Amino acid sequence: MSKQITITIDGAAAVGKSTLAELLSEELHYLYLDTGVMYRAATWGALDQHIEITDEVSVSELTERLPLIITPPTQNDGRQCTVLVGEQDITWEIRSAMVEKYVSLVSSYPRVRAALTEQQRTMAQHGAIIMAGRDIGTVVLPKADLKIFMVASAEKRAERRYDELIAKGKTVNYDEILAAIQERDRQDTEKPISPLVPAKDAVLIDTDQLNIEEVLAEMCDLVDKLVEAG
């Protein structure tokens, strides 16, 4: 592809943003950045430094000086990217239960969001990047070349998450997964800072009746049309 563009993929929890963004990045040979890993890294940093997570000022100050680096995968171990703090690889550490427990709170802090948003914008300056999240097209990269907003019913997302976990041998309950997704939707849409809403110029893709291959094909078609248009 001669023209390198910036692409944002937003959507609710469990809608498939990460999977599709990764597949699209492989198709286009672009860098894929799930911005959520940056908030996880900040959370990990606070825990690692034994900072009280509810201490908003200290957590924010740590985030502002955290030597965070995101690169394409450096190991073939299933990772979508490599996350470094300094020279320390924390790619899998940020998936711990403790990080999962506190990342939502950390990501609600305005100074944390401001610091990481600035880094994300710097990473996108040269194009050839796909960013996935919940406010990328509206807040982080409002001038992105292509903005995609994925939607699916809570029931369909819960069904997919249930099937995914069952396939991994987990013992799970569909109703509990559905309730968790519905609560996450409520929290995301009611956030006072960066609520979950599509950008006005975003292309909505409803995945309820589409499989992964069909969604990827639709995304590739959008990219092709944009590049052809110049």
CA pair distance 20, 129, nearest whole angstrom: 14
Q: Residue 109 forms beta bridges with which residues?
A: none
The residue with tokens 């998936």 is 95
Distance of CA 55 to the CA centre of its chain: 25
Contact (CB, 8 A) for 7 and 146: yes
Q: Which CATH class is domain 6-65+101-210?
A: alpha beta
More confident residue, 191 or 2: 191
Mean local confidence (pLDDT), 18-40:
92
Distance CA 34, CA 14 (A): 13
Q: What residue ranges do the domains of the chain occupy?
A: 6-65+101-210
Give the residue-averaged pLDDT of 217-224.
Answer: 96
| Amino acid symbol at 103 | V
How large is the angle between the packed helices 174-190 and 154-167, nearest 10 degrees? 130
Q: What is the pLDDT of residues 111-162, one digit of tens each?
A: 999 999 999 999 898 888 999 988 899 999 999 999 999 999 999 999 998 9
pLDDT at 95 (0 to 100)? 87
Please provide the size of the chain in residues.
230
Distance CA 202, CA 139 (A): 13
CA distances from 71 to 75, 80, 85, 91, 153 (A): 11, 9, 11, 10, 33
Distance CA 220, CA 212 (A): 12
Segment 40-71, tens digit of pLDDT: 999 999 999 999 999 999 999 999 999 999 98
> What is the radius of gyration, based on Cα positions, of the chain?
17
List the one residue out of 36, 29, 228, 28 whose CA is nearest residue 132.
Answer: 36
Query: What span, in angstroms and rounded, lies between the C-alpha atoms of 78 and 46?
Result: 26
Give the whole-angstrom CA distance, residue 116 versus residue 92. 20
Decide: pTM greater than 0.85: no
> How many Cβ atoms sit within 10 Å of the Cβ of residue 125?
8
